[in-house]
Amino acid sequence: MDHYERLGRELVQKGAIIDYYQDTIRVPNGNIVKWDLIKHKGAAAVVAVQDDGKLLMVRQYRNALDRETLEIPAGALDTAEEPTKVAAARELEEETGYKAGKLELLISLRTTVAFCNEKIDVYVATELTPSRQHLDEDEFLNVESHDLDELIQMIFDCKIQDGKTVSSLLAYKQKYCR
């Protein structure tokens, strides 16, 4: 046997954002194993570039880490079928209070491939115009503006550790700031 075969998938818990499954898999040596799977409907994120070159970031509390983090604006898709560009524009406005005149796909990420199917498409937003911030009732965040070099240094000082933010800022620097 030289392949993997899914023998079954059981929904263990249905959540508001994720669904937790346990898969039964036959591995290449013939053994039967149980693997966890977290299904996620997907997300979109934004590297929001102001006219002066500074980037809009959001500082918010993250329960899994029990602390605040500094991240690029992002959020889950409303449905798995929602275009990520639509979600990126919505999340930018909801979280920062700015609209983008231009959105360009930067990168697509798979956040945790060992046990989760989450995909995040990251866009670069430019031509920003002030609008109105509308946070969800459970969102409490502060919008900050930072120089890219300052943010890159925060990555290497281990002050920014969020995977989507780290990869997106480094990709932005590589593509747009040579």
Could you give all domains of the chain from N- to C-terminal order, each with its CATH number?
5-39 (no CATH), 42-176 (3.90.79.10)
pLDDT for 137: 85
Distance CA 14, CA 72 (A): 28
pLDDT for 40: 95
- Known catalytic membership, residue 127: no
Catalytic residue among 137, 139, 144, 150: 137
Show the tokens assigned to 35.
Answer: 């693997």
Residue 94, classed as helix, strand or coil, is: helix
The number of residues making up the chain comes to 178
What average pLDDT does the segment 6-18 reach?
94
- Per-residue buried b or exposed e for 47-84, using 16+ beta carbons within 10 Å of the residue's own CB: bbbeeeebbbbbeeeeeeeeeebbbbbbbbbeeeeeeb
178 against 155, higher pLDDT: 155
Please check the confidence at residue 1 and state whether its pLDDT lies above 70. no
Q: How confident is the model at residue 136 (pLDDT cuts 50, 70, 90)?
A: confident
